[in-house]
Chains A and B, each alone.
Chain A
Amino acid sequence: MSTDSQKNADHSPILEFKSSTFSVPVLILATNKLIAIEKQLQKKIYLAPDFFKNSPLVLDLQYLNKNNLDIDVTNLTHLIRRLDLLPIGIRGGTAQQNQQALKVGIPVHFGYSVNPLSKMKKQEIAKPKAPEVETIPTTIITRPVRSGQRIYASGDLIILAQVSPGAEVLAEGNIHVYGSLRGRALAGVVGNTDARIFCSDLQAELISIAGNYKISENLDGVVPHQLVQIYLQNHTLVIKDI
């Protein structure tokens, strides 16, 4: 970032203005949703907390305004300051946004050189959408799963009632059972070895994670009415109290 040079002609050098160039991160926004922005920023900061701590930042709103996405600069500034980042300039804003920026003490920068779109395609465009893609649908069952019933969930499966003997619950993700688990529970059925089973009363006929299973005969040591989790470690099912 450069500032106009303005030489002080005073004879005693109390202070001096000099033109200098800094390398400052520019935050190019592709969405006007503050919650999404905050989440994404938190994620980034989490990756390198020292790098971002009190780091100066220039806000670039050109892409937003090109797409007629309005954003409240006051709120945006508060959000960014809350995350211990220091906005030191704004560019590509509308007249109203520039005014808001000045009110919260952020200089407005008019000069514009880089095409944010071409840059953004490489860096940011896909990223703000990422959290939505990651959300897997969770199935919640509130009625008892009776003998002979079968429930399949493509994400996580949460059962707030009992699973009767002879019933079968399957999930591609994790399984939570908050009643008694007396039937069969199979988590990670398409091979997710990180899937887990959580249950408040393990009396299951069979438990399985990613195809590794134990039948009730091998669950003799398990105390009923005890909160446990089941996970996979070196291809063996581990049952642990929580």
Chain B
Amino acid sequence: MARIIVVTSGKGGVGKTTTSASIAIGLAKKGHKTVVIDFDVGLRNLDLIMGCERRVVYDFINVINGEATLNQALIRDKNCNLLYILPASQTRDKDALSQESVGKVLDELKKDFEYIICDSPAGIEKGAQLAMYFADDAFIVTNPEVSSVRDSDRMLGILSSKSRRAEQNEEPIKEYLLLSRYAPNRVKSGDMLSLNDVQGILSLELLGVVPESNSVLNASNAGIPVILDEKSDAGQAYADIVDRYLGENKPHRFIDEKKGLLGILFGSK
């Protein structure tokens, strides 16, 4: 049975698309046939992060309007042949989406894929609501700062009241926390909310902490999702997250400050 995962946050710029891309590759590399859909109609980015922007012919809206078939619009990822991308339209806006049409496309994808990842736009308007409406699991991407935490909390409220599962009184969407852009040294100096502060408000199952890392920006600019950069902290963090989501029990990393060589030698805190 296919599972629909929504990657959402409420707030913009926290790393939803970076997360969607990396999770999608991680799941596909583990042997699961996966598709990732860009719901940010009008502001499409996923194709850039995935490095497939020059291969976009048809998009999500074309499929919804019947101007193209799903097979025509799906782009096979160049790194992993079990992964497909359904890009958003750059020329339309979110009004082109409707609950019924999105549901139809998802139903069709469910026949073929094990995991369907919906990359939600920022905000809580139509695009974001449709991205999460059909979800089974939700990855809440949050940065350790107050406005991001509050927006995530708001999004969780919408997930538990306006999703299909909520409306049909089914088992609620399974919600996971993904804390991104975490900098333990700034937490220590008091400039950043700690994991505990965030969990104090959200209290969700933690899927992983992604450390603040230059490799994320480099990867995005190069169009190679950061999970493929196995040497980087962030890449390893995403690999852990995929493993944990698939049920592996991996200890959490990147929560505490790395000790420098001097720190280890002198045992300073």
A residues with CB within 8 A of B: 143-149, 162, 164-167, 180, 182
Contact = CB atoms under 8 A, between A and B. Distances in A.
A164 B153 contact: yes
Contacts of A164: 153, 157, 201
A182 B161 CA distance: 20
B203 A146 contact: no
Given A165-B150, A166-B150, A147 B157 contact: yes
Q: A-B pairs with the 7 shortest C-beta distances?
A: A146-B157, A147-B153, A147-B154, A149-B157, A148-B154, A146-B156, A164-B153
B69 to A, nearest CB: 39
A146 B156 CA distance: 6
Secondary structure class of chain A's binding surface, majority of residues: loop
Contacts of B232: none
A84 B251 CA distance: 65
B201 A182 contact: yes
A217 B200 CA distance: 21
Interface of B: 150, 153-154, 156-158, 160-161, 172, 200-201, 203
Contact of B157 (A162, A167, A180, A182): A167
B200 A146 contact: no
A98 B154 CA distance: 68
Contacts of B158: 148
Contacts of B160: 143, 146, 149
A147 B150 CA distance: 7
26 contacts: A143-B160, A143-B172, A144-B156, A144-B203, A145-B157, A146-B153, A146-B156, A146-B157, A146-B160, A147-B150, A147-B153, A147-B156, A147-B157, A148-B157, A148-B158, A149-B157, A162-B201, A164-B153, A164-B201, A165-B150, A165-B153, A165-B201, A166-B150, A166-B154, A167-B157, A180-B200
Contacts of B154: 146-148, 166
B36 to A, nearest CB: 26
A164 B160 CA distance: 14
Nearest to B161: A149
Contacts of B153: 146-147, 164-166
Contacts of B161: 149
Given A143-B160, A147-B153, 19 more contacts: A143-B172, A144-B156, A146-B153, A146-B156, A146-B157, A146-B160, A147-B156, A148-B154, A148-B157, A149-B160, A162-B201, A164-B157, A165-B150, A165-B201, A166-B153, A166-B154, A167-B157, A180-B200, A182-B201
Contacts of B203: 144, 162
B15 to A, nearest CB: 20
Nearest to B200: A180
A101 B86 CA distance: 83
Contacts of A147: 150, 153-154, 156-157
A165 B157 CA distance: 12
Q: Quick one: which of A147, A166, A167 has the most chain B CB within 10 A?
A: A147
